Structure 1
Amino acid sequence: MRAVRLSEYGKLPSIGEVPEPELTGPWDVIVDVGAAGLCRTDLHIIEGQWEPIQHPTLPYTLGHENAGWVRAVGSAVTNVVPGDAVIMHPLTSCGLCLACRVGQDSHCENALFPGINTDGGMAQQMRTNARAVVKLAPGIEPKKVAALADAGLTAYHAVRKASDTLFPGTHAVVIGAGGLGHIGIQSLLAITSAEITVIDRSEPALELALALKAHHTILFTDPEDVLAQVLDITSGGAHVVFDFVGEEGAEQLAPRLLRNRGSHYVIGYGGQLNNLTIDIISREINVVGNLVGSYHDLVELMTLTAQNRVKLHTVDYPLDAAVDAISDLANGHVVGRAILVP
C-alpha cells in the first residue's frame, strides 16, 4: 500500500510502498483510511521536536488525524464491525491504567500514538484499537471530519475545560484562526456564552472567523497595538485567552491580554513562556496546558458535528501530493485544514 514515510529528521518525507497492517491482538482494528489530516504538529515531527518525547523508530508512517472505514477487527472487538465509518482517537489506550480508569486517554501509561511514535494514517490502511474508534453518524464522510481527530479534539478539549468559567458577560480571546483556531471558535459558540475576539496575521483567516460568527477580529501587526485593541474591546482584558499558535511571539503576548484572575490556555506550541512569577502571583493568573482530549470529548465533538454546529474547513490533497501539502502548510497557504485523501 502507499504511505507517507519519515526517514530522517529535517528532511521531507517520501511516498512509497509498505506492507499492509495486520491484526496482531484481539482488540486490534484495521481501518481503510478515508482521509488523514495534516497539521503543524506534523511539521514539528519532521523537524524532530517530538523525538526526545516519543522516540519513534525511523522510518515510520506519519498521520495522527485519521478517519475511514473498518476493514477488519480482532476477536474481542464488539463495538464496530467491518464497513463501519469511524474516526480514530489519536491514542490507542489500554483501558487498565489509572489514567484510563478516570477517562484521561491522553495520559494512558501504555498508549501508542499512531503518526507520532508508531505507524499512522497517511496511508491506505492503518491499525488502531477498539478503544480508539468512534462510529460516525449516518451521512458523515470520513474526509469531512478526519482532522477533528486531533486538531478539532484538542481545540474542543481546551474550550470544554474552560466552559464553566465562560458564562454570559465574559470575554474569550482566540489567538490563531487557522486549523485549530477555527474549530475553537465554533466550539466556543456552541457550548459557551462568551464574547469572542479573534487575532490572526492572516486576513483570510480573520474573514473565516467573521463568517463563523466571531464577534471581533484584530489583524496581528504590532503587539502593542494588538494589546491596546484587546484591552479596549474587553474593557480591561480577557477572562480566557486560547493560544492556538504558541510560538512566534503569540506565547509572550497572550498573558498580557488577560485581566486579573484570567487563564491562558496553551494549545499551540513551539515557543517558550517567560512569565514572571510575581505577575502570576499578584494577578492570580493561570497557565493551562492542553494535550489532545479524552475519548468522551471526541464523542461530544462528533455530536456537535452531526448537529452541524461544528464544521471543518478543509483543503484536499491526494496522498501522493503530501509533500506539496506540507510545503503549502509551512508557507501559510492553507486556510482551515489540509487533508490527504488516499
Structure 2
Amino acid sequence: MKAVRVHAYGEQPEIESVPDPVPKGPMDVLVEVGAAGVCRTDLHIIEGQWADKSGVELPYIIGHENAGTVREVGPAVGNIKPGDKVILHPLVTCGLCRACRSGDDVHCENSRFPGINTDGGMAELLLTNARSVVRLDAGLEPVDVAALADAGLTAYHAVRKAVPLLHPGTHVVLIGAGGLGHIGLQSLIALTPAEITVVDRSAQALDLASELGAHHTVEATGDHVEAVRDLTGGRGAHVVLDFVGEGGTEAEGVAMTRDAGSYFVIGYGGRVEVPTIDIISREINVIGNLVGSYNDLDELMTLTAQGKVALRTRTYALDDAPAALDDLDAGRIPGGRAILVP
C-alpha cells in the first residue's frame, strides 16, 4: 500500500510503498482509509517534539485522524462488519485495565496510538481494534468527519469538561478559531448557554466564528486582553479555552481569566508560567486537556449527524501530503482542516 512515512526528524516525510498491515488478533479491525486529517501535531512529530515521549522507531507512518470503511475483522468482533463506514478513536485500547473499565480509555495502561507511537493512517490501510471504531450515521462520509477523530474530539472533550462551569450568565473566551477552535465553538454553542467571545489574529477566522454564532470576536492586534476584559465588565471570563497554547497566548489566557475562573490548555508548544501566589490569591484553575474518550467521540458523532457540528475542510490527494503539511505550517488553511484522501 501507499503511505506517508517519517524517515528523519526535521525532514519532510516520504510517500512510498509499504507492506499491507495484516489482522492477527481476534479483536483486530482492518480499515480502508477514506480520509486522514492533517494535524498540527503531525508538524510537531516531524520537528521531533514527540521523539522522546513516543519512543517510536523510524521510519513510520504518521496520521492519527482517520475514518474509512471496514475491510476485515477478527473472529471475535461483533460490533461492526466489513463494509461499515467508521471513524476511529485515535487510541487502540485494551479494555481490561482500570482506566478502561472506568470509561477513561484515554489513559489506558496498554494503549497504542497510531500515528504517534505506531503506524498511523496517512496510508491506504490502517490496523486498529474493535474498541476504537464508531460506526458512522448513514448521512456522514469519512471525508467529512476524519479530523473530528482527534481535533474535534480534543475540542469537544475540553468543552465537555467546561460545561458544568458554564451556566446561564457566564462568559467563555475561546482563543484560536482555527482547526480545533471552530469545532470547540460549535460544541460550546450546542452544549452551553454561555456568552462566547472568540479571539484570533486572523480576520478570516473571526469572520467564520461570527458566521458560526460567536457573540463577540476580538482581533489579536496587541490590545486584545484589554478588549476581552472590557467585554467582561473588567473581571475576565469564567472560562478561557486556549486552542493555541504558544506564542504568548498562555500568559494572555491567564490574564483573561477572572478570579476563581478556569484556564483550559488545549493547544501546546509554549509554557504556562504563573506565580504560585497568583494561583492562590486569585484561586484560578489551570486545566490540561488530552484527547477525548470513546464516549466523547460517540457523542460528537451524534452532534455531527444532527448538523450541530461541521468541519470546514480542504482536501488533498495522499501524494500531496507534503503540500498539505506546508500549507498547514504556513497558516494557509485558516478556520479549517486539511484532509488527505487516498
Per the shorter chain, which TM-score range?
over 0.9
Q: How many angstroms does 1:122 deviate by?
A: 0.3
Match of 1:21 in 2: 21
CA distance in 2 between partners of 1:125 and 1:251 (Å): 38
Superposed CA offset, 1:182-220 (max 9, x none):
000000000011111001111111111011010111111
Does residue 319 of structure 2 align to residue 309 of structure 1?
no
- Which residue identity lines up with residue 284 of structure 1 in the other structure? E
Match of 2:51 in 1: 51
Does residue 222 of structure 2 align to residue 218 of structure 1?
no
CA distance in 2 between partners of 1:35 and 1:304 (Å): 20
Matches within 5 A, 1:164-175: 164-175=164-175
Match of 2:298 in 1: 299
Superposed CA offset, 1:126-148 (max 9, x none):
00000000000002000100000
- Which residue identity lines up with residue 2 of structure 1 in the other structure? K
Q: How many angstroms does 1:302 deviate by?
A: 0.3
Q: How many angstroms does 1:234 deviate by?
A: 1.3
* Matched position secondary structure for 2:325: helix
Match of 1:128 in 2: 128
Match of 1:105 in 2: 105
Match of 2:34 in 1: 34
CA distance in 1 between partners of 2:165 and 2:139 (Å): 34
CA distance in 1 between partners of 2:46 and 2:203 (Å): 28
Does residue 190 of structure 2 align to residue 190 of structure 1?
yes
Match of 1:253 in 2: 252
Q: How many angstroms does 1:38 deviate by?
A: 0.5
CA distance in 1 between partners of 2:269 and 2:256 (Å): 20
- Give every structure 1 segment of 4 or more consecutive aligned residues whose post-TM-superposition deviation is greater than 4 Å: none
* Cα RMSD for the two superposed structures: 0.6
* Matched position secondary structure for 1:229: helix
* Matched position secondary structure for 1:173: strand
Residue ranges of structure 2 left out of the alignment (5+ in a row): none
Match of 1:265 in 2: 264
* Matched position secondary structure for 2:210: helix
Q: How many angstroms does 1:56 deviate by?
A: 0.7
Superposed CA offset, 1:80-120 (max 9, x none):
00000000000001001111111111110000000000011
CA distance in 2 between partners of 1:105 and 1:270 (Å): 25
Identity of aligned residues (%): 64
Matches within 5 A, 1:63-212: 63-212=63-212
- Which residue identity lines up with residue 154 of structure 1 in the other structure? T
* Matched position secondary structure for 1:100: helix
Q: How many angstroms does 1:221 deviate by?
A: 1.5
CA distance in 2 between partners of 1:7 and 1:20 (Å): 18
Does residue 244 of structure 2 align to residue 240 of structure 1?
no
> How many residues matched?
340
Q: How many angstroms does 1:24 deviate by?
A: 1.4
* Matched position secondary structure for 2:260: strand
